[in-house]
Amino acid sequence: MKKLLKVNLSSILILGLFAFMPEIYGQQKEIEMRALTESSDLIVVGKVLKTKAEWGVDKKRIYTNVTILVDEFVKGSQGNNYIIVSHPGGEIGEVGELYSDVPSFSKDEELILFIKKDNNSNLIINGGNSGKVSVNKDKLISGKMTVDDKPIDSVVSKIKKMLQK
Q: Give buried/exposed letters for 149-161 (b at 16+ CB in 10 A, else e).
A: eeebeebeeebee
* Per-residue confidence (pLDDT) for residue 79, from 0 to 100: 81
For range 27-34, the mean pLDDT? 66
Residue 12 has pLDDT above 60, yes or no: no
* Per-residue confidence (pLDDT) for residue 6, from 0 to 100: 46
Q: For helices 2-39 and 152-164, what crossing angle results, to 10°? A: 70
pLDDT, one tens digit per residue, over 144-158 is: 777 677 888 888 889
Q: What is the pTM of this model?
A: 0.77
Amino acid at 124: I
**Greater pLDDT, 113 or 16:** 113
Note down the domain range covering 118: 2-164
Please name which of 38, 26, 24, 32 lies closest in space to residue 162, comparing C-alpha atoms: 38
pLDDT, one tens digit per residue, over 123-141 is: 999 999 999 998 887 656 5
Separation between Cα atoms, residue 103 and residue 87, nearest integer Å: 9
Q: Number of folded domains in the chain? A: 1
The distance of Cα 50 from the centroid of its chain, to the nearest Å, equals 18
Residue 90 bridge partners (DSSP): 97
CATH of the domain at 50: 2.40.50.120
The distance of Cα 102 from the centroid of its chain, to the nearest Å, equals 10
Separation between Cα atoms, residue 78 and residue 116, nearest integer Å: 12
* Per-residue confidence (pLDDT) for residue 135, from 0 to 100: 87
pLDDT band per the 50, 70, 90 thresholds, residue 23: very low
Residue 70 burial (CB count, 10 A) = 18
pLDDT, one tens digit per residue, over 38-94 is: 999 999 999 999 999 999 888 889 999 999 999 999 999 888 899 999 999 999 989
Separation between Cα atoms, residue 97 and residue 82, nearest integer Å: 26
